[in-house]
Structure 1
Amino acid sequence: MSETVPVCCTACGRRHRYTAPSYPCACGAPVAPALDPRGAATAVTHRAWDEEWIGVRCAACGVESRWPRPELGCPCGTVLCVAVDRTAAGRSGRTPGSRVPAHRAVPIRTARDAVTAAVLYLRGLGHRDVRRADQRPVSGIGLAAPGIVVQVDPAVGPASARDVECLWLTAMAESASCVHFSLAGHTEEARARADLLGVALFVLDPTGVPRPANASAVALDATAD
């Protein structure tokens, strides 16, 4: 079960109760970061990709994966980084051998949630080492894993044919396959271009579930655990 700790806002002094989120390990067991009830929260003043993730070890299978660091938004507008006990093992609410669906969705409220949903899905496809792409896309957030390049577009408007073409060109340079996730879907021209180039298109619904939007995505989805 995820643990709950008291968190004090560094800006306004307001006190909160924070419950650690749980995520699905590749083995199927839920894991959650171990929080430090005696640690002080710190205000997030800047964003750096390497600092956005922490290692969490699964108590069921022992595998350590990287998940978003625990954060809490205070009503005063301050975003707080919750203290983590880095010496503790990951928590699991299930016993070894039990199984839950590999694709545990996370509700999408921010661009960061959209990235998390995409990472969860990619891990379910067998891509464990998902990282920030070296080459930044024209729009959205670029991710990469061995053999695949990904673009996550959290924009309110549908992705364009240019987005699809740029992703495909990046994939060709890396000799990799490519996947495009969008919150607002894709234009008709983008879908037509994706079908021609073999780019898998997914639409992320508000619950965080990726929905295949073309034949390439359907075929890819069929390979999921």
Structure 2
Amino acid sequence: MNTSGRVAIVTGGSRGIGRQVVARLAADGYALVVGYIGNQAEAEAAVEEARAAGAEAIAVRGDVADEDAVAALFDAAEQRFGGVDVVVNAAGMMKLAPLATLDLDELDRMLRVNVRGAFAVDQQAARRVRRGGAIINFSSSLTRFSRPGYSAYAASKAAVSAITLILARELRGRDVTVNAVAPGPTATSLFLDGKDEQTIARMAAEPPLERIGTPEDIAELVAFLAGPGRWVNGQVLYANGGAI
């Protein structure tokens, strides 16, 4: 697929999977808008990596759960590059605790970022993505794993899956695909923080491929959905090496 002139917004693009998605789409020739909330240095580093690959790129700070900030993110993309073709909604947070002991303030924070944030970004994407474009959300394989301690996070990502499936059908006639990627355990700081080597080894042994996923694994799938995967629409794709 010819990606010349195509523009992608990647929220959560300064770290983890989002950072690798920026690099992968830059290699494909997209112009990139890196959305971030806190770490300007990491966001600027992602921009520099994209530019080193020959892509145009800018970083825009904003909270995905703030509708005005999200609108400003899309405004920046349109003003700098003329429009938006792909939106990758990779921003998210995770707090782990058993349901009985989880602080409800933490639940509210997670729902605000993971659910309200996905909704606000998708709302602007639904209004602005050009024909032939793609909206790619991030759910999680944890919606199927049913691991103790993940009830709140899994619930937030199940909501993202529901939003994705419905939005795909609401955009009938627009020639815009809407899908969600649902990674399994992936070697990012979000996943690795707080886990001992024994826990990580146990999770790595679960899929038939017998390893933890990498951000590169997930970015390849995103690149497919963003470009050549035009006949994949209204789906949640579980990228976990066959663990479920």
Pair in the same fold by TM > 0.5: no
Q: Which has the higher helix share?
A: 2
TM-score by length of 1: 0.31
Q: Which has the higher strand share?
A: 1
Structure with the bigger RCO (C-alpha within 8 Å, sep 6+) is 2
